[in-house]
Amino acid sequence: MKARLLCGISSVTSALTLMTILIKPATGNEVLELKEVSEQPHFVKNVAPLLVQQPVSPVVKVTGVKLNNTSTGIELVLQTSQGEALQPVTKAEANSLIADIQNAVLELPDGQEFRVDNPVKGIVSVTVTTLDANSIRVTAIGEADSPKVELFDDPEGLVFGFTPASSAQTQTQPTSPPQPSSETEPEQPTAQDDRPIELVVTGEQDGYRVPDATTATKTDTPLRDIPQSIQVIPRQIIEDQKTTRLRDVLQNVSGVTPGAGYQNSFDRVRIRGFAQETTFRDGIRDNFPSTNFANVERVEVLKGPASVLFGQTEPGGIVNLVTKQPLSDPYYNVDLSVGNYAFYRSAFDLSGPLNPDKTLLYRLNVAYENAGSFRDFISSQNIFVAPVIAWKLNENTDLKLFFEYNDRDYKPDRGVFVIGDRPGSVPINRFFGEPAINEGTVTNYKFGYNLEHRFNENWQLRQTLSTNIFKTDEIRVQFRGLEADGRTGRRDIANFGGTTQEDYRLQTDVIGNFKTGTITHKLLFGIDLNRFTDVSNGFSNGPFASIDVFNPVYFVPITRPTTPYIVQNFTDTFGFYLQDQVTIADNLKLLLGGRFDTVNILQKDLAAQSSTSDNNSAFTPRVGIVYQPTPPVSLYASYAESFVPQYGRSRDNSPFVPERSKQYEVGVKGELFDGRLSATLAAYHLTKSNVLTTDPIDTNFSIQVGEQTSKGIELDIVGEITPGWNVIATYGYTDARVTRDNDLPVGNRLQNVAENTASLWTTYELQQGNFKGLGFGLGFYYVGDRPGDFQESFILPSYFRTDAALFYKQDNWRLGLNIKNLFDINYYVETQGREVVYPGAPFTVIGSVSFTF
């Protein structure tokens, strides 16, 4: 162990030394000069020209946009005040050609956006929009594939010559060196100067900073225009950290306390002090916490109440997993990982067209994982398959069919226990169940469709139908406390038999853009229909043989419980919502929204031959304002509410009303280093009311007089400091307490919530020289002490964990070595009471290799 730690310390010291020496502006004179993005393969074999650091340029004002027809397509002219040069960075995504232009701002006479739909056959739309404070984006969407592009400098500014993909395929292909591939030269205004500009080509978006997101508004909105804290963890961070669990990904978000989840096999997180066990997948609720990251492109975390768009949710926030989408060009990736504790994982990511005109695309993600554990007798196996078909029905209508199969076999495990006021009396690897009895299986099917239809340039309809079926079968022997001798552990056996949960959801949105005078509106109206069923059958817990916690003996003959139960729950939800994103001025924006939900609940206990039914309804508003005194700075304030229906009845047989939550939030968002680095500082006050607490007259019942409050400050920083040096850093202060209750002491902190959390993850990749592509990563994670229960009878101690990474990228392959818990500290992730405490993993190594072709 000592040798391993000394080796780890030496490696990190060397890495830090190299980073200190090498972190300086890259220089170089080599620039890749290209004419058509479509002529480039999906990956670039020689990345040297693409990694040149661009000099910082003054901000250029784009004062006008013109669109001209040509014999091969269209020309888009970005007019600048004095004909200054613009430098675009382009990428092709599905059927879109995207050009991002740094150090440029839009100052158009009639607003901040330019859009023309169906300008020519083969091109659906062309838009010019503000990307962030100092950059703009040009997007051309083709009918089947991304348009081809030629770019020229002109005395007026920059000229984009777009050719529909179908037309360009008939033209003569260029020979080396690259020259314009169109047989017919573009018409005016390119006659005065037809020199091709220098064009930097990229593939799918890399990097740590993501400028916009969909979760907060259900529309693609810049983060700087959203009056709530929202953080995005892109695929690049997930790959650099080599994480396969949601709780590990969310360590990169302030105000989030990751948890071990049910049986240490599923994911649970606490956001701003409140547990959130459900996640969302592409904006659709996923009630089942078994997550595989093989098809996840990025993770978006919206802080604070989100019921206005997503219905019943806990007030701390929501987690939305955005999945990978089909690509119009062939893409094949293989990723293999192996680690200690018998960890093996393989993943395949395949995509491309299914027909010559590329109106039918596919993506297939497959993953297999077989993992042991530092915990005795614990192992798991996971199979994941996720195909997606995207079909362009016509120029205005797109249909996507999706399916997911996720099967997991696992050993139910409830961790260790507490003696006194802290855990640590027994080794963290010791198991207190029965190796031959504890077994669990989860099978999850998701399938449905996404339909999008554009009526015209201003109005569109989106509809998603989703079916989610979740089946579990589990039996476990579990620890239930110590006898008076301090070493004999009581145990019982739980047999959950078969549980089937089915979630059917139909969600329809209509989005429209219009103006009232000089004020611009983006209106969203939606309807959400949901039927959720839960049928559980098994046996009530029964007694089982005890265990010596200091000298355990396993493989005790099974004693099955004999008292059966069959419970059926049916929940029907109907909700409709309205949202308006109002642009009063270029630097002043409002967000207004409201939602009304009705929830009907039916519970049946077939064994007891009883049933109850309840109806809940709630209206939840949201309002926010964003003011941008200068382009890089956004000041915001917002108010939002949420609700969660409650099951059961009070002593007088009255149904419980929903829990209600209210939040006030203010903050500032800023962009540094010409927009390469972004930061969010937020302060909030969140109150949850109608919390169930024990009825003082009859302790067999509950009453709704409880209240819990969370207030805090959060800081998130993410982006690129210099070329190759990426960073994501967080700090969160969370003061979450009981403020009213019949049982719990008022003023006590909420269970599992740390007052102080912080994280820093940074990587540096060499940009030139013989070791170009070699990279290093280092991460620090601090979590303060946490109450183990609401009575604060014991504490989970604070911890400071260090992770490290070493990787090498060359052409289309990548080698990686990730070390988690470098210094092998003992720490605890979460507790569910004195008998259930989940320890964190000790020193862990994962080696990986990936290849793209």
Distance from C-alpha of 245 to C-alpha of 297, rounded to nearest angstrom: 14
Under a CB-based contact definition with an 8 Å cutoff, are residues 695 and 650 in contact?
A: yes
Kind and range of the H or E element at 403?
strand 397-410
Question: What distance, in Å, lies between the first and last C-alpha atoms of the chain?
Answer: 40
Distance from C-alpha of 774 to C-alpha of 808, rounded to nearest angstrom: 4
pLDDT of residue 48 exceeding 80, the answer is no
What predicted TM-score, i.e. pTM, was given to this entire model? 0.78
Under a CB-based contact definition with an 8 Å cutoff, are residues 714 and 732 in contact?
A: yes
Distance from C-alpha of 395 to C-alpha of 418, rounded to nearest angstrom: 63
Taking the CA atoms of residue 575, residue 576, residue 578 and residue 579 in that order, the dihedral angle to the nearest 10 degrees is 40
- The whole-number average pLDDT for the span 199-228 is 79
Residue 636 β-bridge partners:
626, 667
CA distances from 245 to 242, 421, 541 (A): 9, 29, 30
Residue 302 β-bridge partners:
230, 318
Length, in residues, of the chain: 853
Residue-wise pLDDT tens digits, 258-302:
877 555 556 778 999 999 878 999 999 988 766 789 999 999 999
Query: pLDDT at position 434, please?
Result: 94
Q: Which domains does the chain have, with CATH numbers?
A: 37-202 (2.60.40.3500), 331-852 (2.40.170.20)
Strand ranges of the sheet holding 284-286, from the earlier edge strand across to the other edge: 230-234, 296-303, 317-323, 279-281, 284-286
595 pLDDT tier (thresholds 50, 70, 90): very high
Residue-wise pLDDT tens digits, 523-542:
999 999 999 999 988 888 88
Q: Output the DSSP codes for 205-255.
A: --SS---EESTTTSS-EEGGG-SS-EEEEEHHHHHHHT--SHHHHGGGSTT
Q: Is 49 helix (H, G, I), strand (E, B) or coil?
A: helix
Distance from C-alpha of 247 to C-alpha of 490, rounded to nearest angstrom: 31
CA distances from 200 to 90, 95, 482, 580, 795 (A): 6, 19, 66, 37, 54
Q: Which two tokens stand for residue 809?
A: 């990228």
Distance from C-alpha of 699 to C-alpha of 136, rounded to nearest angstrom: 62
**Look-up of token digits 């100092």:** 134
723: nearest Cα among 15, 5, 28: 28
How far is C-alpha 750 from the geometric centre of its chain's CA atoms?
25
- The whole-number average pLDDT for the span 251-256 is 95
Q: What share of the chain is helix, strand, coil (3-state, %, to 5)?
A: 5, 55, 35
Distance from C-alpha of 647 to C-alpha of 601, rounded to nearest angstrom: 8
Kind and range of the H or E element at 14?
helix 2-22
Distance from C-alpha of 411 to C-alpha of 434, rounded to nearest angstrom: 10
140: nearest Cα among 47, 75, 195, 199: 75
Q: Which two tokens stand for residue 500?
A: 């089937």
Which sign, positive or negative, has the C-alpha torsion 696, 699, 703, 708?
Answer: positive
Phi, psi of 262 (to 5 degrees): -60, 125
796: nearest Cα among 809, 807, 785: 785
Under 8 Å CB-to-CB from 72, ≥6 apart: which residues?
A: 161, 163, 167, 168, 171, 182, 183, 184, 186
Residue-wise pLDDT tens digits, 705-764:
999 999 999 999 999 999 999 999 999 999 999 999 988 999 999 999 999 999 999 999
pLDDT of residue 215 exceeding 50, the answer is yes
Q: Which of 90-104, 236-250, 726-740, 761-775 has the lowest mean pLDDT?
A: 90-104
Under a CB-based contact definition with an 8 Å cutoff, are residues 629 and 635 in contact?
A: yes
Kind and range of the H or E element at 165?
helix 165-168
**Look-up of token digits 């030629």:** 150
- The whole-number average pLDDT for the span 20-40 is 38
pLDDT of residue 187 exceeding 50, the answer is no
pLDDT of residue 115 exceeding 60, the answer is yes
CA atoms within 13 A on the CB side of 716: 28
Which sign, positive or negative, has the C-alpha torsion 177, 144, 463, 531?
Answer: negative
Residue-wise pLDDT tens digits, 422-448:
898 899 999 999 999 999 999 999 999
Q: Output the DSSP codes for 406-434.
A: EEEEE----BB-EETTEE-SS-TT---S-
Under a CB-based contact definition with an 8 Å cutoff, are residues 381 and 403 in contact?
A: no
pLDDT of residue 92 exceeding 80, the answer is no
Which of the two residues, 266 and 462, has the higher pLDDT score?
Answer: 462
440: nearest Cα among 475, 414, 469: 475
Q: Output the DSSP codes for 666-716.
A: EEEEEEETTTTEEEEEEEEEEEEEEEEEE-SS-TTSEEEEEEEEEEEEEEE
Query: pLDDT at position 34, please?
Result: 38
Residue-wise pLDDT tens digits, 443-456:
999 999 999 999 99
Q: Which two tokens stand for residue 222?
A: 């810049």
Residue 602 β-bridge partners:
570, 613
184 pLDDT tier (thresholds 50, 70, 90): very low
145: nearest Cα among 395, 518, 437, 320: 395
pLDDT of residue 200 exceeding 70, the answer is no
